[in-house]
A and B are shown apart, each in its own frame.
Chain A
Amino acid sequence: MSLATAQATAFEADFERFEQAAGASAPAWLHDLRRQAMDHFRAQGIPGPKHEDWLYTNTTPLAKSLLPIAPRAVEVPGSLAAHRFTLGVEEGTRLVFLNGRYEPSLSSTEGLPEGVVLVHGAALRDEEHADLRAELGTVADPAKHPFAALNMAYLYDGFVLRVPKGVVVEKPVQTLFLHSPVGQAVAVHPRVLVVAGENSRVTFIERYGIDCIGALAGGTCFTNAVTEYVLHQGAHVRAMRVQHEGTNTYHVGLTAVQQARDSRFDSISLSLGGAIDRNETHVALQDTGAECNLNGLYVLGNEEHVDNHTVIRHEVPHCKSAQLYKGVLGGKSNGAFTGRVVVAPDAQKTVADQANHTLLLSDHAVAETRPQLEIYADDVQCAHGATIGRLDEEALYYLRSRGIGPRTARNLLVHAFASEITEAAEDPQLVEGLEMLIASRLEGRANRPEDAQ
């Protein structure tokens, strides 16, 4: 979809302003990178309704409001307690970004094992890191993904985490990308690169939220995040992604993963709603023995829309992928899942599993599911399954017959449905942290029994 002229003009003007104001203090390599990325974005535009990959998401609101880049936050919150940011894990490294800018007063970079490199804030925009010019975008290709291109065009802050060979990072590294309201609709483009060296181990948690929900009245916000993972031989990365920016927000997130021999990538993505939440995960299994396990849970109400889109490429023999995505849909929400698995012609002995299960809490919610298996090898084991169901009335009756009220009974059953995903976090603190987030969503703004009618 090409932009209407007036919008295009405003958009170009915003980009120029960014390049000359906030983004000006950048070395030549970064200006180059941005301008080249902007060319890629112009060439592709916002994908329209006829684009097969965007079948379930109407991008018109995004195209209409290619929002200006967010200005610096006016107010820095004194604490992050309200966001339950730490997911139960108090210690360890945490990086907080407000309106796309690193906020040192809320962050802590302590506790990383020796050798682990963390580059963020102004350092990222340093001449010294010119090699990032070649490195960024190798996994999330801006030429093939318009939103990745847009993200790169606005590259300002974010961070790079490098875990050297053999290093085990015990505590999760956590990040929080927060919108701080500025009274108008704005965009942020968070960028992360995680490089896990040979046989290294790390757990990385990304969270996307809003500093103060009520204050969004001045307009919505748009987050366009790109996270790239490079896993070297034998590396094991656990990735957790939580999106809870709120019911009126736009979010496009791309997680792009590249895996070497015997590496393992385990992910959990939790989407707690939004006007549009496009949650994309691309994994390239590039050498034998690589394995990925993608888990996703989306809990929606109101008129929210989440579109999970995965692409897993089995490029070589003997790799394994598993996907389990579960949706809990209340109100008039819409939850979509597209899972593409591409098995290259010589990728024999591939094992690929895919499942998408939806729990409908209301008669007005809609679930869509689309497996896309493109299998060009013959000796493979590929399976997919999808179910759409409602809460089990007999189970509800059973719980209520023990004195449990209908609302608690429903929530217990929803938690039971979600538990397969939350338990994939394994670490009891993380499991509990995820459960609390889901509970606050269920007890909060949506999916109340009245929504379920």
Chain B
Amino acid sequence: MTNDTNPLLSVRGVHATAGDKLVLKGLDLEVKPGEVHAIMGPNGSGKSTLARVLTGNVGADVTAGEVLYKGQDLFELAPEERAREGMFLAFQYPVEIPGIANSTLLREGLNAIREHRGQPELDAIDFLQIAREKAAVLEMDPAMLNRAVNYGFSGGEKKRNEVLQMLVLEPSLAILDETDSGLDIDALKIVAKGVNALRSEDRSFIVITHYQRLLDYIVPDVVHVLSDGKIVRSGDKDLALELEAKGYAWLEEGANA
């Protein structure tokens, strides 16, 4: 997709370390409003680190480069400010929080975001109605709302719960970090349906995945390959098919050529 609108997100030359290790080594990425970008790449190449750099720099330190989000310096914003500005991460490993109800997390988050947007706070009843509606889209048992956040959830339930949060919070840029892994084939379709329901002209997605199959359901505008901390190849959705067939090794040869 080519258009002339300003990018929603532009990542320029980002270097970042996780622990003591330099993980991102000069990463560039530009996402325009309405676009869906898929990021694929070998284990340990830095995909989740990129997601953390974008949503909060927690567990990752940026050593060089810059990121503009909605035209502002992203690194000036705290994690909650980024969320209130519409950034959302569906975690690869959703955190279990015993003692906090799923609905509490969602309501606190949604109301903080609404306050930031100048919208009135939702009371418990209105909130619950929204949450129930979204749960129904994902064919989730509404009882999940009363359970502690991700606590004792199955792997697939956790992933679905991440998507539920995305539907409730209605982000402008959603990053899905391997949301498909752990989902059975029916759940995958339901989750894809949820994502597609959110797609719109001014909402963008970064979908991190190892499997081309997801991209049959969430059709990307651009596919990138992240390898050793850099985007080494970008293409259209056919690139994913090619990767599925050939693996990543051929790319490295290509990149070195």
Binding site for B on A (CB under 8 A): 392-395, 397-406, 408-409, 412-413, 415-420
Q: Does B240 contact A (CB under 8 A)?
A: no
In the complex, B113 has a CB within 8 A of chain A = yes
Q: Which of B88, B100, B116, B148 has the most CB of A within 10 A?
A: B100
Residues of A within 8 A of B136 (CB): none
From the candidates A401, A412, A413, A417, name the one contacting B79 in the complex (CB within 8 A): A401
Least distance between A324 CB and chain B CB atoms (Å): 14
Q: Mark B60-96, 1 if CB is under 8 A from A, else 0.
A: 0000000000000000001110111000110100110
A394 with B95, Cβ < 8 A, contacts A399-B105, A401-B56 known: yes
Please state if A406 and B99 are interface contacts (CB–CB under 8 Å).
no
Bound form: Cα–Cα A406–B108 in Å: 12
B78 touches A402 (CB 8 A): no
Assess the B100–A413 pair: CB atoms within 8 A. Answer: yes
Closest A residue by C-beta to B108:
A404
Known: A397-B56, A397-B79, A398-B91. A403 touches B99 (CB 8 A): no
CB distance from A378 to the nearest CB of B (A): 36
B80 lies within 8 A of A403 (CB): yes
Q: Is the CB of A397 within 8 A of B112?
A: no
Q: A398-B97, A415-B99 are in contact. Are A403 and B104 (CB under 8 A)?
A: no
The distance in angstroms between the C-alpha atoms of A400 and B165, with both chains bound, is: 13
Contact with A along B25-59 (1 / 0, CB 8 A): 00000000000000000000000000000011011
By a CB distance below 8 angstroms, the chain B residues around A408 are 108, 112
* CA of A399 to CA of B113, assembled, Å: 13
| B169 touches A (CB below 8 Å) | yes
Residues of A within 8 A of B106 (CB): 402
Q: Are A412 and B100 in contact (CB under 8 A)?
A: yes
Distance of A135 Cα from B113 Cα, bound (Å): 61
Residues of B with Cβ closer than 8 Å to A? 55-56, 58-59, 78-80, 82-84, 88-89, 91, 94-95, 97-100, 104-106, 108-110, 112-113, 116, 148-149, 165, 169
Q: Is the CB of A403 within 8 A of B95?
A: no
Cβ 8 A contact of A397, one of B59, B84, B165: B59
- Expressed in whole angstroms, the Cα–Cα distance for A416 and B78 within the complex equals 23
Is B99 a contact of A405 with CB atoms below 8 Å? no
* Chain B neighbourhood of A393, CB < 8 A: 58
B15 to chain A, nearest CB (A): 21
Q: Are A404 and B58 within 8 A (Cβ)?
A: no
Chain B, residue nearest A416 (CB): B99
Whether B98 pairs with A403 at a CB distance below 8 angstroms is no
27 A-B pairs in the complex with CB atoms less than 8 angstroms apart: A392-B95, A394-B59, A397-B79, A397-B95, A398-B94, A398-B97, A399-B108, A400-B79, A400-B80, A401-B79, A401-B82, A401-B83, A401-B88, A402-B165, A403-B80, A403-B84, A403-B110, A403-B113, A405-B112, A406-B78, A408-B108, A409-B80, A412-B105, A413-B100, A416-B97, A416-B98, A416-B100
Whether the Cβ atoms of B95 and A395 lie closer than 8 Å is yes
> Which residues of A lie under 8 Å from residue B99 when comparing CB positions?
413, 415-420
Q: How far is the CB of B92 from chain A (nearest CB, A)?
A: 12
Give the distance in Å from the alpha carbon of A400 to the alpha carbon of B148 in the complex.
17
* With A397-B79, A398-B91: A403-B109 Cβ-Cβ less than 8 Å: yes
What's the Cα separation between A417 and B100 when bound, in Å?
Answer: 9
Provide the residues of chain A in CB contact with B108, threshold 8 Å. Answer: 399, 402-404, 408, 412
CA–CA, A361 and B252, complex, Å: 47
CA distance A263 to B89 in the complex (A): 52
For A397, the chain B residues whose CB sits under 8 A away are: 56, 58-59, 79, 95
B105 close to A402 (CB less than 8 A): yes
Among A398, A406, A413, A418, the one with the most B-chain Cβ atoms within 10 Å of its Cβ is A398
Pair A403/B59 contact, Cβ less than 8 Å: no
How distant is A417 from chain B, measured CB to nearest CB, in Å?
Answer: 7
In the docked arrangement, what's the CA distance between A403 and B112, Å? 6
Q: Is B97 touching A400 in the complex (CB atoms < 8 A)?
A: no
The answer on a CB contact under 8 Å between B78 and A400 is yes
A395, A406, A413: residue with the most chain B Cβ atoms closer than 10 Å: A395
For residue A438, give the distance in angstroms from its CB to the closest CB of chain B. Answer: 12
Report the separation of the CA atoms of residues A420 and B99 in the bound assembly, to the nearest whole angstrom.
8
Residues of B within 8 A of A418 (CB): 99
Contact B80 A398 (CB under 8 A): no
**Which residues on the B side are within 8 Å of A415 (C-beta)?**
99-100
Chain B residue at smallest Cβ distance from A415: B99
Instruction: Given A412-B104, A412-B108, check contact A401 B89 (CB 8 Å).
Output: yes
A402, B59: Cβ atoms closer than 8 Å: no
Shortest C-beta distance, A27 to chain B (Å), equals: 52
Residues in B whose Cβ lies below 8 Å from that of A398: 91, 94-95, 97, 149
Using A400-B78, A402-B109, A417-B99 as known contacts, list a sample of 13 further A-B pairs with CB atoms less than 8 Å apart, ordered by residue number in A: A394-B58, A397-B79, A398-B94, A401-B83, A401-B89, A402-B105, A402-B165, A403-B83, A403-B116, A403-B169, A404-B80, A413-B99, A416-B98
Q: Which residue of A lies closest to B89 (CB)?
A: A401
- What CA separation (Å) do A417 and B99 show in the bound complex? 7
| Least CB distance, A130 to chain B, in whole angstroms | 51
Q: How far is the CA of A397 from the CA of B52 in the complex (A)?
A: 10
Q: Shortest beta-carbon distance, A301 to chain B, in Å? A: 21
Q: For residue B165, which residues in chain A have a CB less than 8 angstroms away from its CB?
A: 402
Inter-chain contacts of A403 with B (CB < 8 A): 80, 83-84, 108-110, 112-113, 116, 169
CB of A389 to closest CB in B, whole Å: 13
Taking each of A401, A409, A412, A419, which has the highest tally of chain B beta carbons within 10 Å of its own beta carbon? A401
A395 to B59, CA, bound (A): 12
Residues of chain B contacted by A392 (CB below 8 angstroms): 95, 97
Min CB–CB distance A87 → chain B (angstroms): 21
Q: Nearest Cβ in chain A — how far from B60, in angstroms? A: 11
Closest CB of chain B to A396's CB: distance in Å?
8
Q: How far is the CA of A404 from the CA of B109 in the complex (A)?
A: 5
Which of the listed residues B55, B109, B113, B148 has the most CB atoms from chain A within 10 Å of its own CB?
Answer: B109
Q: How far is the CA of A186 from the CA of B56 in the complex (A)?
A: 52
The 7 closest A-B CB pairs, nearest first, are A416-B99, A402-B109, A403-B83, A400-B79, A403-B112, A397-B58, A398-B95
